Structure 1
């Protein structure tokens, strides 16, 4: 091998984006075998994984996507690239059904068949589910999730879980094959799937990644990134009111809207709600993908998306909402709001009463809020007591979620009233701003609602949300707390004195 060949090989070994179109071949949706040029979704996935690997030395990712966006194609190519360039490593791919197992292994065989001789590893004994590279002592194997014991007893460095939301024994596989992956540098675990409802293993892992409670990063790929998801626009086409809103929020053009119309029509067979089915199969946002069951959500995703995109400077009195964690898996959440601008969410896990009180006291000293509204359920009462002891009683608003609403004929309790006020704020004609965070978005769009026999409005409880597999909407509750009460006193520091003024919402 001469110097030029060594340089070519080094570049192919070190840079997957450079390697893929030069060394890998894929079968396109049109049935042609062509070089693997990464599309927009695949480039985004690649950038996220490489950044995580740069920071941590390994990859742990959970990927939520729509139908046929190339996530498996990218992951299989990546794993073939890794295994074919390293000694003594194993890749294992676990799919949800036998047909998918065969399809992914066929993809790997195609990669190997068309790989250029300069970087093609020597193949030893292989079979219908395994490629073994004898000189490297490395291997690539696939399995089907129907068998609870699949993959147990092996050690692998690279793992791809395909369509994890559809695994029949997901928790067993988490205990088995996924425990075969060492917690070491240069190991990779990629779990990808379309959504399949809420409460299952994939949804649980997505929620944990989204809130930073696990070492996994959450990667979402929206459907409209696909260039091929378009349809010709007929003469006389006009956007509906819903389509106008989608076009404005997500930058969709008429050809993309026509694709959406066609797919909704296809998915509407046999009485199926085509719009809801489209949202699950071709999601715009992660929150849209996980369809909520058991009732309508109080806050719809569209105003939340708009609020995430809008930017403005806050004005008026500073109100801070604090939802202290009550249980081990809950987060303490803190958020600021000045009239139409909410900003700076903070979340904490496993903090004691005194720690939370200390965090809030530091914020008060630094930011001089006019009001700090705190949920007094659980450890919240202790947090309020400590802050009052520190001399902040004038600005502390202790809020009991279960107490009577200001309008008890309209709302079952105070929490419902606050959430409806927050929904009205988001739905108002005047634009508002919230932090551009997926976990807050999921919290706001999580709780459902209903009416009691007296036609009072009821917000779904945190306990009922957990029964459906949803996490506690802690950041959403923190923002709702900023709508609990008008500001009675505004605190302004002028030469270390406090001036009282009156302000409202």
Structure 2
């Protein structure tokens, strides 16, 4: 609605400049209180067809804003680490938010760090366009290819490239936007310098504007407008995946586990309404590539419409690779990280995905607990629980002293009364085993030490036949068979990432083994502690001689609730896989129950 400033000025005996100033003061308060309104009324972006249009937040941007606002409400600052797909608008969102901060608040220093010069230029050009198209452009001092200075605010918006030398050290940064953070050169140095240079400021919420005693027409009924009177510091790191490695990956997985300052955010491609195609669609039951889901399985697992599946098919045809589509347009966190680096991975992500989407009652089967111990280092002390074809719980703790570990495991034995607890002898494993066995003869009967590096049963039986070289490779082979033949695991990103981490390595005689935890860390991956604990539940098989596998309802992807991650058993009642010979034939000689 148009406002007649001249008429209001005459009616209220004010100058037009006074009326305009009061109107602008109100708009600034509204913009400060509502980033969405600021984007709509102030920010212009270049649309895909080249025209300029207001920034109306799309579905991914709305999701990101909701997470930002939630963290602000909970902690009074922002530390968001955002894993994205292509063309979801994360860079536009974060660029606009930096512009919002520096043009509306005093003494704000927005620092934008991108992985390459071309990207830095695009981001700065985006903000320069916002400045050019601002309906009331703030006065600019310094204006060059890397920075905009807003003189009246004493604020600065600047971009940089993550080159060999880390920048930002010593600067007082109030807003940090890390673009394509997984691809920064010397990422550890940049996190130590630029990201750590962000001020640790908790914001103050209060009244930004109050309706005057004699309000002008456009002020009437507004009451009070609240917002950040002292803006909080914000860190927004956004990127597409560069695989399960590097500084960004480690920090993102820490955020998923709830450790560290960051809140992990992910938006699947399916949230974007425009990612659909009209037309007829008939799902194929054959995967496009080995280790991938078929279209039928993919559609059933994620409950997608035919229009979404048709768009997906067209994209895969254009990219000429289903695995590349997963990397560019991931549908979940595990897919995003696994997609970029699955060559020679022993357990393909698709097997893990199917296993985590199977749900049913926990079988009345012997309980085997696997324990992968860890001491005071960075690895996790992991414990996995398996009954028959269900790994139904995985627990993890960090930095346990031996006394704490003994107390924890003894309490698990007392509560759960397992048939066997298999503990890796490495690290603090052997002293832990000795301490537990000394507590009670009952514990001595239950606990079995497993030597990951020991010679496999297969090599002992047939020394000259190629096969798994050591026990770790052998029990991982059983874990893989378990996943292929219908086993279920917790629906948990952390566990799924672990399972698809280790790669297979071959010796000169074609014996094979899995890469060590040291080798994984050299690739930038964390130790596969949760997966190792699961594999340890296959180190014994004597308790399954008399157990019969139950028949279950088959039919992949018929819809089931999610499990409780590391913290509990599945709650669904229906299993989603056609088990075939897994039930009818006892798993065969190579099945996970075979002795």
- 3-state SS, counterpart of residue 104 of structure 2: coil
1:485 aligns with 2:534: no
Match in the other structure for 2:263: 217
Computed over aligned residues only, the root mean square deviation of the Cα atoms, in angstroms, reads 3.1
Contact 1:370 1:487 in 2 (8 A): no
Which residues of 2 match residues 345-384 of structure 1 at below 5 A?
A: 345-384=394-433
Match in the other structure for 2:480: 423
State the alpha-carbon separation in 1 of the partners of residues 436 and 62 from structure 2.
Answer: 49
Contact 1:292 1:446 in 2 (8 A): no
- 3-state SS, counterpart of residue 84 of structure 1: helix
Number of equivalences: 482
Match in the other structure for 1:246: 298
Structure 1 residue 212: Cα displacement: 4.3
State the alpha-carbon separation in 1 of the partners of residues 23 and 384 from structure 2.
Answer: 57
Structure 1 residue 219: Cα displacement: 2.4
Which of structure 1's runs of 4+ aligned residues deviate more than 6 A? 1-8
Match in the other structure for 2:9: none
1:137 aligns with 2:154: yes
State the alpha-carbon separation in 2 of the partners of residues 55 and 361 from structure 1.
Answer: 37
Give the number of the structure whose alpha-carbon radius of gyration is greater: 2
State the alpha-carbon separation in 2 of the partners of residues 306 and 7 from structure 1.
Answer: 54
Match in the other structure for 1:402: 453
- 3-state SS, counterpart of residue 444 of structure 2: coil
Contact 2:102 2:108 in 1 (8 A): yes
Structure 1 residue 419: Cα displacement: 1.5
State the alpha-carbon separation in 2 of the partners of residues 336 and 30 from structure 1.
Answer: 54
- 3-state SS, counterpart of residue 394 of structure 1: helix
Contact 1:353 1:380 in 2 (8 A): no
State the alpha-carbon separation in 2 of the partners of residues 203 and 47 from structure 1.
Answer: 23
Contact 2:375 2:402 in 1 (8 A): no
Match in the other structure for 1:449: 504
- 3-state SS, counterpart of residue 407 of structure 1: helix
Q: 1:337 aligns with which of 354, 378, 386?
A: 386
Structure 1 residue 6: Cα displacement: 7.1
Which residues of 2 match residues 93-492 of structure 1 at below 5 A?
A: 93-115=112-134, 117=136, 121-146=138-163, 148=165, 150-185=167-202, 186-197=232-243, 199-233=245-279, 238-241=283-286, 242-268=294-320, 274-290=321-337, 291=339, 293=341, 295-316=343-364, 317-325=366-374, 328-391=377-440, 392-408=443-459, 409=462, 410-428=467-485, 430=486, 432-452=487-507, 455-486=510-541, 488=543
State the alpha-carbon separation in 2 of the partners of residues 3 and 311 from structure 1.
Answer: 61
1:71 aligns with 2:99: no
Q: 1:123/1:292 Cα in 2 relative to 1: closer, same or farther (>3 Å)?
A: closer
Q: 1:58/1:343 Cα in 2 relative to 1: closer, same or farther (>3 Å)?
A: farther
- 3-state SS, counterpart of residue 165 of structure 2: coil
Structure 1, gaps ≥5 residues long: 269-273, 490-503
State the alpha-carbon separation in 2 of the partners of residues 147 and 379 from structure 1.
Answer: 39
Q: 1:135/1:237 Cα in 2 relative to 1: closer, same or farther (>3 Å)?
A: same
Q: 1:471/1:327 Cα in 2 relative to 1: closer, same or farther (>3 Å)?
A: farther
Structure 1 residue 254: Cα displacement: 3.7
Structure 2, gaps ≥5 residues long: 1-18, 203-231, 287-293, 545-591
Structure 1 residue 326: Cα displacement: 5.2
State the alpha-carbon separation in 2 of the partners of residues 307 and 240 from structure 1.
Answer: 18
Contact 1:41 1:69 in 2 (8 A): yes
Deviations 1:332-353 (A, max 9, x none): 1122223333334322222122
State the alpha-carbon separation in 2 of the partners of residues 450 and 476 from structure 1.
Answer: 18
- 3-state SS, counterpart of residue 458 of structure 2: coil
- 3-state SS, counterpart of residue 332 of structure 1: strand
